[in-house]
Copies of this chain bind each other. A is one copy, B any other.
């Protein structure tokens, strides 16, 4: 065998160098094994989610590598938040083209490490493979909830109030700006919208409030209109939204003021990574208080009713959208 056999392979070196410092969970075994182990928290269910981001589809090739890493983690963290779950850790599958260099990997790992610390969500393990195509970052995330307590999309009941966190439409408008939209915005407004596209702000601080008070929840990733329609469909109820109540940032209001068609984009465009949930009316006050204590803005935007479908009422009239929800297919 000789000395060659005692050296780690190129992939092993790459993993140890860049990703070892993020694998702080004892079950990750310092990434020195085939797999990781996890002793589940007693009395808990695990919550499992995977989402991928792809170069040229979910991010621009020129985006900084640390924002790519953050986005890949945060789109998954957002789902856990909406399910009322606490992150436990994640697996990373990384397909890299041959022109990825040390500088990119160093920056990518820095972004991953920062968010792993910020969200208390260490790396369990991963796989790094070559591809002739763009970067593909697949994250599989594991979280926990008390047994039986995962908040589902199904569960909304007539009479429930509909809440969203944060503000809606910023990311879709930020993407439009990246693609060349020329609205008369000030630098701060442009920056706000573009950063909301670049770097989701998942509402994990709201997870416990959602778990405690919501009858149904999901994260808004494919546009408020389409995602609400999904929640209503699986809950077998109707939803009516007062468009004037939908929380819009000042920047989004300015963009819509400059081009009223952007209201459609804001409500259907996707990448919000806010939480959409329904709350029984008797719990609405407690939910608001819990959200305030968690430091996350929530807004009552409408009501659940018997029936089916999601209606958005604007100036007394139902809105018709150009398309219901974002889909790459």
Contacts and interface: CB of A to CB of B under 8 A. Distances in A.
A208 interface: no
A6 B36 contact: no
Interface string A125-138: 11111111110101
Nearest to A35: B49
B329 A11 contact: yes
Counting chain B CB atoms within 10 Å of each CB, which of A14, A45, A326 scores highest? A45
A150 B327 contact: no
Contacts of A260: none
Interface residues on A, range: 35 or more
B48 A124 contact: yes
A164 to B, nearest CB: 15
A52 B153 CA distance: 29
A35 B140 contact: no
Contact of A93 (B50, B83, B309): B50
A48 B32 contact: no
A99 interface: no
Interface in A149-194: 150, 152-154
A316 interface: no
Contact of A150 (B4, B37, B129, B308): B37
Given A11-B327, A35-B47, A52 B95 contact: yes
Nearest to A239: B1
* Secondary structure of the A contact surface, majority rule: mixed
Given A48-B91, A48-B142, A329-B10, A79 B35 contact: yes
B229 A131 contact: no
Interface stretch (A54-62, A106-114, A195-203): A54-62
B1 A85 contact: no
Question: How many identical chains are in the complex?
Answer: 2
A73 to B, nearest CB: 14
A3 to B, nearest CB: 8
Contact of A46 (B33, B46, B130, B323): B46
A52 B125 contact: no
A124 to B, nearest CB: 5
A7 B324 contact: yes
A136 to B, nearest CB: 5
A1 B239 CA distance: 10
A33 B153 contact: yes
A12 B230 contact: yes
Given A32-B154, A133-B133, 18 more contacts: A1-B229, A1-B310, A1-B319, A5-B321, A8-B230, A12-B230, A29-B152, A33-B218, A34-B83, A37-B145, A39-B45, A39-B46, A50-B93, A50-B138, A58-B129, A97-B133, A132-B134, A140-B140
- Sorted from nearest, which 3 A-B pairs have the closest CB atoms? A133-B133, A140-B140, A10-B329
14 contacts: A1-B318, A5-B228, A6-B309, A9-B329, A11-B329, A27-B48, A32-B234, A33-B83, A36-B47, A48-B142, A51-B127, A93-B138, A132-B133, A140-B140
